[in-house]
Structure 1
């Protein structure tokens, strides 16, 4: 089933427009953690309506030790950095800031390109769910044509960690299955390097129905939930 965008539910980047709830979350986090806390904000929820310059000073007041700023609006916008970043950062002068180059990073080329924009560093979210080996590719500056068996080993590790954490009883199995299927809804978006017509894959690209180089790979690039169940 199609997902309802988090912002439409008042979460995600829309949380910064709900100042009371945002404050409760940050102050609540401060009450249970004894390590420095960071908060990540976007420039805003709607284009040409930057909320971050007003919100950043409050984030500092509510107990964050550092703020990271992503210069884009909603997740469906491709490209993670825009001039709005500068306006956001000028809203505060004493609070440690981390101007991020995140937004749709799915390859080492994307990461390198972001770093060339003069950012402090990179945050990666969905890209790591689609290709968990992305960090190895970034470190080694290469594309990894990871085999279906290697991908399956990652899934087995994930499942074992889930059962170890939640238990192997009925409730633990159901909890692990829930998160496994949720992750597979991202992992299936990865088009194996050996099947790509051009490199690198962009985060908005989806694999069309295709035959993999083996039965397991075919299941892994399928958009069909029944195939994900067969994998597990």
Structure 2
């Protein structure tokens, strides 16, 4: 079964909109785990517009499944990660002003930098993953950084799925085979939803973990959080 890690950035966005503590991020995370999610993902950004750095510290104390922290490995981000010591860190090359992640790493151009960051995290006992486009060349480049896993950036799949699911997933299937052949673990995330997740999982059998936030929270407005988490778990079996 593919593990479901729920990204709770949108919960923090809603909390921050009124300046108080409603909804209570920590309570929601406890509930998400009790509903069956196998992990919690957060993506703190420099402006802390949703997840705050203190949230990462607080979540470390209560998360009982796996805590995954995503982000651009700036000095401040790395300091936070090495302080909190999450189960996994996912390195994402997003600009400080990015609304959301919009590209994977060029693992060849940035190999030396990524290797240094990954080594520091692994020495602290943190599993590492690199956010990456479904390009076999970039995946082979990821192997040279020493990373444990890659996370396939699935926005293109989600965008093309409604027109032609097979064409949309083909490059991801090929990328997954490449990762599996060279011994890299495989995660995926970005714009995956109840509509497209089952097809993706069926055609990417090497998949270990998906990180889903925006769609899951939006779907929960209509269907309820507990129900939606269990719908994802059913589709990921």
**TM-score in same-fold range (> 0.5):** no
Q: Which has the higher contact order (CA 8 A, sep 6+)?
A: 2
Compare CA radii of gyration and give the structure with the larger one.
1
- Could you state the TM-score of these two structures normalised by the residue count of structure 2? 0.39
Higher percent of residues as strand: 2
